[in-house]
Amino acid sequence: MSILANSKTKVIIQGITGTQASFHVSRSIDYGTNVVGGVTPGRGGTTHLGVPVFDTVKEAVAQTGADASVMFVPAPAVKSAVAEAVEAGVKLLVCITAGVPVHDMLAIRQILKGSQTKLIGPNTPGLLVPEETRLGIYPENIHQRGRIGLISRSSTLTYEAALEINRAGMGQSTVVAIGDDMIIGMDFVEGLKLFHSDSETDAIVMVGQIGGKFEEDAASWYAAQCSKKPIICYIAGNDTTFRNHVGYAGDIITRGRITLAGKKKTMSQSGMIVVNNISQIHEVLSSIAK
């Protein structure tokens, strides 16, 4: 079992004929991902990478029964691409695109509100279920099938965390990178809930970042649970990095609570196992398994 997607998930690609999409989607198909079609306005009726191309998401869903979409579209087009997919009833969206305007993301949050659609991203390598499906741009060769859920805000550190899980002699049940941006779709709490409901996930590795309250919200949810799966957490960055990116406005908005030490303290108090170095993840996992 996995969360959000599996080998049977029918996937379409918005922007399938682009150069980057062609490269990554080809790898996803080779990995076993059930790509059933693509969408590029003006290219409807053609084929690309062996799958049919449609002019609209509505047409693609009607013809293929797709329930997930991976978006390789330019940042200014993401808002309309999400709106089109939501209107067509797509259940899962993965947005690879970086640089989506904050104002557009506010509008996207409203578009998603009340719908049945979940959005992963933007600015994410996506979602991967080892040996089953690859919705995004993951280096699929580093992932091994196992029973450790992996959820991360960082793109590159997601890969390193996966290698740490492998070093412990374990593998991943599902890998989800929720995105690096200030405003994103699915957050840690949603992901942790799904992993806690997954019978084939025994423990969770969580990679956070300095800035924002995503980690604190996850800690509050975790602290309130009676039955908990172990969560090993690493927070990337430092207080200087945060201040350089958002300035003193961040301290005003959060009343000075967003510090590296503050995040670690909050998460430790919730019962999460916080490591100071990502290379310690495999050690903690090994000790839990004993």
- DSSP codes, 21-60: HHHHHHHHHHHT--EEEEE-TT-TT-EETTEEEESSHHHH
Q: Are strands 172-177 and 133-136 parallel, antiparallel or unpaired?
A: unpaired
pLDDT of residue 289: 74
| Per-residue tokens: 234 | 């690493």
- The SS3 of residue 221 is helix
Q: Is the pLDDT of residue 246 over 60?
A: no
Q: How many residues does the chain have?
A: 290
Helix (H) / strand (E) element for 262: namely helix 260-270
Question: What does the pLDDT read at residue 192?
Answer: 98
Class of domain 143-289 (CATH, top level): alpha beta
Task: Give mean pLDDT, residues 152-178.
Answer: 96
pLDDT of residue 1: 67
Domain 11-120 identical in fold to domain 143-289: yes
**pLDDT of residue 261 exceeding 80:** yes
Q: What is the pLDDT of residue 244?
A: 47
Q: What is the pLDDT of residues 115-137, one digit of tens each?
A: 999 999 999 999 999 999 999 99
Q: Does position 175 have pLDDT exceeding 70, yes or no?
A: yes
Structure confidence at residue 248 (pLDDT):
45
What are the extents of the domains in the chain? 11-120, 143-289
Residue with tokens 């979602």: 127
Query: Average pLDDT of 236-258?
Result: 55
Quickly name the fold that domain 11-120 has. Answer: Rossmann fold (3.40.50)
Burial zone of 138 (CB within 10 Å; 0-12 exposed, 13-18 middle, 19+ buried) = buried
Average pLDDT in the 96-113 region? 96
Mean per-residue pLDDT of the chain: 92
Residue 247 has pLDDT above 90, yes or no: no
Confidence of residue 68 (pLDDT cuts 50, 70, 90): very high
pTM comes to 0.93
Give the pLDDT of residue 288: 87
